[in-house]
């Protein structure tokens, strides 16, 4: 019998402990309002374990919640970036539309004061080769354009149509060396011919040395030749030099129109007689 107890002592002790626990638990059921001494001992014994478990659980719960919040923030930031891009694009489009409306309004004002009929056109190409300075516009023969017609912008003279296709035309700029426009100095009425010199500048040629021309004078079309109407702005005198010899003076003119930034023009539907 003693050998049997020794052999199964672990199982017997475990069973006894379970019976004791069950007994204490049964006794405690009679008074649920007050914890028994055994219950208090068990609570005190396992309280640190519970605290550690609760802390670990709270830590991982917080990490998980932070991860979820971070994912939400990233998604929200992505949406905000897309919204900013869309708003910036719309803002740029609106600004471009405002500038275009301003330019077209200036062209309409110019068209209103011109006696000759005219057609508005957009610049769709350019040729800045060493030999020619030309632009391509989106109007042609179907719009009534012909070679020789003058081309102007809101600020002044641009050039002259030299080639016409069905739906497009080529314009020779006044800054081209092949261009020549009969002109007059607005203040003193000194006459000459504005010739292109390249580099965005022009010369007023064939102006006599005794003519009164000063830096800052405005040069306009004289109307001689019948190509350009009288009084269109060409540019401003930037340099006057009178040599010791010769009958003419050297006069540089800066065009009123910036050819490099030209986007819309007005073609006057008139030809030279």
From first to last of its 273 residues, the chain has per-residue pLDDT tens of 556 556 656 556 665 655 555 555 555 545 555 555 555 565 555 455 455 555 555 555 666 666 677 777 777 777 777 777 776 766 665 565 555 556 556 566 566 556 678 898 999 998 766 556 889 999 999 999 999 999 999 889 999 999 999 999 999 999 998 999 999 999 999 999 999 987 788 999 999 888 999 999 999 999 988 889 899 999 999 999 987 777 899 999 999 999 888 888 999 987 655
Could you identify the residue written with the tokens 């219950």? 39
SS3 call for 107: helix
Q: What residues does each domain of the chain span?
A: 56-115, 118-268
Task: Tell me how far the alpha carbon of residue 264 is from its chain's centroid.
Answer: 19
Q: Which residues make Cβ contacts (< 8 Å) with residue 36, sequence separation at least 6?
A: 24, 27, 28
pLDDT at 246: 78
Tokens found for residue 238? 């930037």
Cα–Cα distance between 177 and 130 in angstroms, integer?
Answer: 10
Could you identify the residue written with the tokens 């609106």? 94
194 within 8 A of 174, measured Cβ to Cβ = yes
Return phi, psi of residue 154, to 5°: -60, -30
CATH of 118-268, one of 1.10.357.10, 3.20.20.370, 3.40.50.300, 2.40.10.340: 2.40.10.340
């Amino acid at each position: 019998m003693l050998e049997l107890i020794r052999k199964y002592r672990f199982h017997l002790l475990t069973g006894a402990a379970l019976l004791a626990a069950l007994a204490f638990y049964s006794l405690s059921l009679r008074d649920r309002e007050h914890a028994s001494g055994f219950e208090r001992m068990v609570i005190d014994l396992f309280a640190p374990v519970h605290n550690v478990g609760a802390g670990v659980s709270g830590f991982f719960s917080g990490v998980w919640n932070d991860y979820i919040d971070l994912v939400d923030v990233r998604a929200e930031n992505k949406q905000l970036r897309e919204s900013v891009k869309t708003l910036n694009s719309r803002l740029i489009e609106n600004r471009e539309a405002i500038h275009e409306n301003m330019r077209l309004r200036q062209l309409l004002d110019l068209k209103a004061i011109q006696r000759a009929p005219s057609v508005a056109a957009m610049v769709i190409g350019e040729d800045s080769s060493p030999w020619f300075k030309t632009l391509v516009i989106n109007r042609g023969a179907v719009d009534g354009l012909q070679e020789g017609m003058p081309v102007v912008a809101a600020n002044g003279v641009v050039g002259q149509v030299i080639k016409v296709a069905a739906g497009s035309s080529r314009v020779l700029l006044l800054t081209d060396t092949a261009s020549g426009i009969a002109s007059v100095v607005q203040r003193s009425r000194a006459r000459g011919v504005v010739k292109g010199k390249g580099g965005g500048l022009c010369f007023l040629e064939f102006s006599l040395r005794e003519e009164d021309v000063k830096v800052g004078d405005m040069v306009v079309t004289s109307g001689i030749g019948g190509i350009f109407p009288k009084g269109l702005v060409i540019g401003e005198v930037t340099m006057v030099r009178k040599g010791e010899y010769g009958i003419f003076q050297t006069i540089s003119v800066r065009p009123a129109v910036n050819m490099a930034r030209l986007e819309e023009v007005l073609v006057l539907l008139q030809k030279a007689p």
